[in-house]
């Protein structure tokens, strides 16, 4: 039974070298066509276990890691820990379609955001030292167990990401979205959590006015400014950003902004 369509990225040594040479220029040369990114149909996805959930993506983000993969700017050093062809997409707000019997606290129609990490718990293997203390982002066993290697959903041939009409995820990866949060805000939860994690790794204390420099005004840079402003409202934040829209957003988030000096030198 065909359930829908998805975008799949096919990785190979030939593709990788072509991407390294042509990747950043190819979309302009071909009008956006990328031969290693294809649209295909897929069969109905089976729930891998009783504690898994079927999802229909509502909105999906385009992560910098996705762009690095598509344009050949990412290193191939971690390729043994991923599996292709893969359907990308790990920043997602989705609607629940079906739940396994051990995920019955969720209901069809619930909105969720996804923690895409595929650590020991969804892999159904004995937990490594990091997963045992709640740090699946450092999982030592992402190439083990019954499923294809991948550090997260979107980089595994067994688990299509959110650039598709359907995906599955383990209950432990799902977080309900409050009704008052829009889809557009919810889809930013995953990248914002990355920035917040960095800020909380060495947090400023409330009332502390220590100066902080954030270099880069992309999504993660702006999320870092927001996380700093939320956790340490008195901090003195300077944001270095390249584009006027980034500088404008940085000012709205409470940072003092400076232009990228490298841009002025070009």
pLDDT at 27 over 70: no
Mean per-residue pLDDT, 28-35: 63
Tokens of 52: 């898994």
In the Cβ-directed half-sphere of 198, how many Cα atoms lie within 13 Å?
15
Q: Beta strand pairing status for 111-114 and 167-170?
A: unpaired
Tokens of 216: 């880069």
pLDDT at residue 12, as a whole number? 67
Mean per-residue pLDDT, 166-186: 96
Mean per-residue pLDDT, 148-159: 91
% of the chain residues with pLDDT over 70: 83
pLDDT at 37 over 90: no
Residue 227 three-state SS: helix
Helix H or strand E encompassing 99? strand 92-99
pLDDT at residue 79, as a whole number? 75
Mean per-residue pLDDT, 60-86: 80
pLDDT at residue 1, as a whole number? 34
pTM, two decimals, is 0.83
The residue behind tokens 């499923």 is 147
Confidence of residue 234 (pLDDT cuts 50, 70, 90): confident
Q: CB atoms < 10 A from the CB of 51, how many?
A: 18
Tokens of 188: 């930013």
CB contact set of 50 (below 8 Å; sequence gap of 6+): 100, 101, 102, 103
pLDDT at residue 2, as a whole number? 39
pLDDT at 90 over 70: yes
Query: Is pLDDT larger for residue 232 or for residue 128?
Result: 128
pLDDT at 264 over 60: no
Tell me the pLDDT tens digit for each residue of 91-116: 999 999 999 999 999 999 999 999 99
Whether the link from the prior residue into 187 is cis, omega within 30° of 0, is no
Q: How far is CA 89 from CA 6, 11, 44, 58, 153, in A?
A: 10, 16, 19, 12, 8
pLDDT mean across residues, the chain = 86
């Amino acid at each position: 039974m065909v359930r829908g369509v998805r975008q799949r990225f096919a990785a190979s040594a030939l593709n990788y070298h072509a991407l390294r040479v042509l990747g950043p220029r190819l979309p302009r040369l071909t009008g956006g066509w990328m031969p290693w990114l294809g649209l295909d149909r897929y069969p109905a996805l089976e729930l891998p276990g009783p504690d898994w959930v079927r999802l229909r993506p509502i909105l999906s983000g385009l992560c910098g890691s996705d762009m690095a993969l598509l344009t050949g700017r990412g290193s191939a050093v971690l390729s043994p820990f991923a599996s292709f062809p893969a359907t990308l997409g790990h920043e997602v707000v989705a609607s629940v379609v079906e739940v396994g019997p051990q995920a019955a606290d969720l209901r069809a129609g619930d909105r969720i955001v996804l923690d895409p990490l595929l650590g020991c718990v969804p892999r159904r293997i004995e937990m490594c030292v990091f997963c045992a203390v709640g740090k699946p982002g450092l999982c030592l066993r992402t190439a083990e167990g019954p499923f294809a290697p991948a550090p997260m959903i979107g980089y595994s041939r067994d688990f299509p990401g959110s650039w598709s009409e359907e995906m599955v995820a383990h209950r432990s990866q799902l977080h309900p979205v409050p009704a008052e949060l829009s889809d557009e805000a919810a889809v930013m939860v995953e990248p914002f959590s990355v920035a917040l994690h960095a800020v909380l790794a060495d947090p400023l204390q409330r009332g502390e006015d220590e100066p902080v420099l954030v270099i880069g005004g992309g999504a993660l840079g702006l999320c870092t400014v927001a996380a700093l402003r939320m956790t340490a409202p008195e901090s003195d934040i300077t944001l270095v950003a390249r584009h006027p829209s980034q500088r404008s957003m940085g000012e709205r988030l409470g940072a003092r902004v400076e232009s990228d000096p490298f841009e002025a030198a070009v």
